[in-house]
C-alpha cells in the first residue's frame, strides 16, 4: 500500500534538543549520515529536521527568508539535496507569529511566500511554532493559512503544528490540516518531565489518529544531560538533577526505554533529539526496537485505552492499543518510585476465560514469546520501568 504523508506517526530527528542555535550545514549532513550508518533509517526514521535559528534575522528585499550565511553558506537547498541523496526527507522550522521563539523572522503574513520558498528548496516537513502570535488573530486561522499555503505549494510537505496544546488545539487542529500537533510544553531531559507529559495525555488519546498525530514533543532518549539547551537541562524538580557525571538533567537507560515505550504506544511522532552521531549501545537498542516501533506505526493509529492498577492508579497502569490484525500492543508502566505489581485483568480488554479465550504474549524487549495466559498477566515492575507486549487472542 502506498504510504501517504503524515498517515502514520512521523519518525525522524530534530536538531533542537541537543543543538539549539548551534546548527550548520555540516551538522545536518552528519545527522543524515548517522541516520543511515547507525541503522536508524532502516528502522523507519525518515525526517531530518532543522529547527529554529537557521535563518538570518531579516528577510531579503523581496520579503523572502534568507538562510544564515555563516551556518548555511550554500543555502538550504544544498543541504536538502544531500539529505535526499541519503534516501531521507528534509524538514525545516518556522512560526505562525511575527517571529520565531528565538527571534528570527516568523511566517505571519508571509505564509504563501514562505511555503513557496520551502517547496523550491525541497523541504518535505514544516514544524510551525506559536511564539509572537498577534493577540487578536485566532490560532486556528493561522494554522489553516499555512496549511493552505503548503498544500498549494506544489510539493508534498508534512505540516507539524507546534502550539504546545494551547487554545484548545485538540478541537480544531485536524480541521486546520496539520499532520501532527504538539500537545504539551517543551520536554526536558528528566524523568519528572517525561512523567508529567505522559500523564497529561493519557486521557487525550481520542484526539489523535491517522494523518493527525498527538505530538508529545521530541524524544530525550540518549541525551544523558548532553545538550547546550539550558531549558532542556533545567531539571529543577528532578530528583536526578546534578547527578554525578551526567551534568544537569539526564535519565537512566531504564527511564529512556519507558519514555520511548510511552511515546510509541501513545501514537506520538518519534522524533529523536539526542546526538545520533554518538549514541550509546543502549540508546541505539531503545530507538531501533522494531517491535516497539511496529506498535507505534500500526496502520489504524488507534489511541490506547488506560487500565489503572486499582491500588496505585496514578503510577501503575497498562495502555492497551488495538492493532489492525486483531492483536494488541500492551504497555505496562510503573511511573512510581517503588516496585509495583501490575496485574492486567483480561476481562478489562473484553477477553473472558469463560468464553475459552486467553492471550498469547510476546515480550517486545526480550523479543521472545512469554507464553499463553488465561484471565490475567501479572508482573512486578521496578520503579520507572515498563514492559511492552504484543498480545494475540487464542483459544485456551
Ligand atoms: C519552542 C518549541 C521547541 C523549539 C523552540 C525553538 O516553542 O516548542 O520545540 O522549536 O521553540 O525556539
- Distance from C-alpha of 81 to C-alpha of 286, rounded to nearest angstrom: 29
pLDDT band at 317 (very low <50, low <70, confident <90, very high): very high
pLDDT band at 235 (very low <50, low <70, confident <90, very high): low
Q: Can you give the pLDDT at residue 241? A: 46
pLDDT band at 229 (very low <50, low <70, confident <90, very high): confident
Q: Look-up: residue for cell 517543551? A: 186
What SS3 string covers 256-311?
HHHHHHHHHHCCCCEEECCCHHHCCHHHHHHHCCHHHHHHHCCCCCCCCEEEECCC
The mean per-residue pLDDT over the stretch 78-105 comes to 98
Distance 364 CA to ligand 1 centre (A): 32
Does residue 245 carry a pLDDT above 50?
Answer: no
Distance 270 CA to ligand 1 centre (A): 16
Distance 98 CA to ligand 1 centre (A): 15
Comparing CA positions, the residue from 42, 46, 21 lying closest to residue 32 is 46
Atom of ligand 1 nearest to the CA of 127: 10
Q: What is the radius of gyration, based on Cα positions, of the chain?
A: 21
Reduced to 3 states (helix: H, G, I; strand: E, B; else coil), residue 394 is: strand
- Distance from C-alpha of 111 to C-alpha of 43, rounded to nearest angstrom: 34
Q: Cell numbers at residue 248, please? A: 544537569
Give phi and psi for 75, each to the nearest 5: 85, 180
Cβ(102) – ligand 1 distance below 6 Å: yes
Distance 229 CA to ligand 1 centre (A): 11
pTM equals: 0.96
Instruction: Give every CB contact of residue 365 below 8 A, 6+ residues apart in sequence.
Output: 257, 289, 387, 388
Q: Cell numbers at residue 35, please? A: 541516520
Q: Look-up: residue for cell 500537533? A: 181
Does residue 298 carry a pLDDT above 60?
Answer: yes
Does residue 387 carry a pLDDT above 60?
Answer: yes
Cβ(262) – ligand 1 distance below 6 Å: no
Pocket test for ligand 1, best of 55, 100, 101 (most atoms within 8 A of CB): 101
Atom of ligand 1 nearest to the CA of 102: 12
Atom of ligand 1 nearest to the CA of 20: 6
Q: Cell numbers at residue 53, please? A: 535559528
The mean per-residue pLDDT over the stretch 56-81 comes to 98
Cβ(377) – ligand 1 distance below 6 Å: no
Contact 356, 364 (CB under 8 A): no
Cβ(114) – ligand 1 distance below 6 Å: no
- The crossing angle, in degrees rounded to 10, of helices 111-121 and 75-85 is 50
Cβ(129) – ligand 1 distance below 6 Å: yes
Distance 2 CA to ligand 1 centre (A): 32
The residue with greater pLDDT, 240 or 157, is: 157
Distance 72 CA to ligand 1 centre (A): 20
- The crossing angle, in degrees rounded to 10, of helices 191-201 and 253-265 is 20
Cβ(162) – ligand 1 distance below 6 Å: yes
The mean per-residue pLDDT over the stretch 84-109 comes to 98
The residue with greater pLDDT, 388 or 242, is: 388
Contact 312, 303 (CB under 8 A): no
pLDDT band at 147 (very low <50, low <70, confident <90, very high): very high
Provide the mean pLDDT of the chain. 95
Atom of ligand 1 nearest to the CA of 218: 9
Does residue 57 carry a pLDDT above 50?
Answer: yes
Angle CA 363–364–367, to nearest 5 = 75
Q: Please list, residue by residue across 51-70, b when 16 or more beta carbons sit within 10 angstroms of its beta carbon and e when fewer do.
A: bbbbbbeeeeeeeebbbbee
The continuous run of DSSP H or E covering 344 comes out as strand 340-345
The mean per-residue pLDDT over the stretch 54-74 comes to 98
Comparing CA positions, the residue from 285, 218, 222 lying closest to residue 9 is 218
Cβ(52) – ligand 1 distance below 6 Å: yes
- Distance from C-alpha of 73 to C-alpha of 311, rounded to nearest angstrom: 59
Atom 3, ligand 1: which residue's CA is nearest? 186
Atom 1, ligand 1: which residue's CA is nearest? 101
Does residue 244 carry a pLDDT above 60?
Answer: no
Between the CA of residue 321 and those of 275, 283, 324, 339, what are the distances in Å?
A: 30, 25, 10, 24
Does residue 50 carry a pLDDT above 50?
Answer: yes
- Distance from C-alpha of 203 to C-alpha of 200, rounded to nearest angstrom: 7
Atom of ligand 1 nearest to the CA of 182: 8
Active site residues: 129, 186
Domains of the chain: 11-296 (3.20.20.70), 305-395 (2.60.40.1180)
Dump pLDDT digits (tens) for 333-372.
999 999 999 999 999 999 988 999 999 999 999 999 999 9
Does residue 259 carry a pLDDT above 50?
Answer: yes
Instruction: Give every CB contact of residue 395 below 8 A, 6+ residues apart in sequence.
Output: 356, 357, 358
Atom of ligand 1 nearest to the CA of 101: 12
Q: Cell numbers at residue 6, please? A: 503524515
Pocket test for ligand 1, best of 16, 94, 180, 273 (most atoms within 8 A of CB): 16
Contact 118, 157 (CB under 8 A): yes
Distance 200 CA to ligand 1 centre (A): 19
Amino acid at each position: 500500500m502506498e504510504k501517504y504523508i503524515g498517515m502514520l506517526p512521523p519518525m525522524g530527528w530534530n536538531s533542537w534538543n541537543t543543538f539549539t542555535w548551534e546548527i550548520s550545514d555540516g551538522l545536518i549532513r552528519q545527522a543524515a549520515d548517522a541516520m543511515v550508518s547507525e541503522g536508524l533509517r532502516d528502522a523507519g526514521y525518515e525526517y531530518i529536521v532543522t529547527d529554529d535559528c537557521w535563518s538570518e534575522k531579516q528577510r531579503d528585499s523581496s520579503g523572502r527568508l534568507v538562510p544564515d550565511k555563516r551556518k548555511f553558506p550554500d543555502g538550504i537547498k544544498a543541504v536538502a539535496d544531500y539529505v535526499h541523496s541519503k534516501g531521507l526527507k528534509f524538514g525545516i522550522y518556522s512560526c505562525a507569529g511575527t517571529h520565531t521563539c528565538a527571534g528570527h523572522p516568523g511566517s505571519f503574513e508571509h505564509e504563501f511566500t514562505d511555503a513557496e520558498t520551502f517547496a523550491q528548496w525541497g523541504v518535505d516537513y514544516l514544524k510551525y511554532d506559536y511564539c509572537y502570535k498577534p493577540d487578536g488573530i485566532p490560532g486556528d486561522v493561522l494554522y489553516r493559512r499555512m496549511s493552505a499555503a503548503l498544500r498549494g505549494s506544489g510539493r508534498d510537505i508534512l505540516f507539524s503544528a507546534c502550539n504546545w496544546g494551547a487554545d484548545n488545539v485538540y478541537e480544531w487542529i485536524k480541521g486546520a490540516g496539520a499532520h501532527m500537533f504538539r500537545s504539551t510544553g517543551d520536554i526536558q531531559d528528566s524523568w519528572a518531565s517525561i512523567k508529567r507529559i505522559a500523564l497529561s495525555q493519557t486521557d487525550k488519546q481520542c484526539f489523535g489518529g491517522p494523518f493527525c498525530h498527538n505530538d508529545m514533543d521530541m524524544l530525550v532518549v540518549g541525551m544523558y544531560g548532553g545538550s547546550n539547551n539550558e531549558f532542556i537541562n533545567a531539571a529543577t524538580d528532578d530528583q536526578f538533577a546534578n547527578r554525578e557525571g551526567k551534568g544537569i538533567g539526564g535519565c537512566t537507560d531504564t527511564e529512556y526505554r519507558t519514555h520511548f515505550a510511552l511515546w510509541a504506544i501513545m501514537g506520538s511522532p518519534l522524533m529523536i533529539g539526542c546526538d545520533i552521531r554518538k549514541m550509546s549501545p543502549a540508546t541505539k537498542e531503545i530507538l531501533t526496537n522494531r517491535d516497539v516501533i511496529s506498535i507505534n506505526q500500526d496502520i489504524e493509529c488507534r489511541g490506547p485505552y488506560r487500565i489503572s492498577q486499582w491500588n496505585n492508579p496514578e503510577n501503575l497502569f497498562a495502555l492497551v492499543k488495538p492493532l489492525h490484525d486483531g492483536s494488541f500492543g500492551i504497555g505496562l508502566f510503573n511511573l512510581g518510585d517503588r516496585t509495583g505489581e501490575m496485574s492486567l485483568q483480561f476481562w478489562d480488554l473484553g477477553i473472558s476465560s469463560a468464553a475459552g479465550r486467553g492471550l498469547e504474549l510476546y515480550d517486545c524487549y526480550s523479543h521472545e514469546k512469554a507464553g499463553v495466559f488465561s484471565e490475567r498477566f501479572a508482573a512486578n515492575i521496578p520503579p520507572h520501568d515498563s514492559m511492552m507486549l504484543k498480545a494475540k487472542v487464542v483459544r485456551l
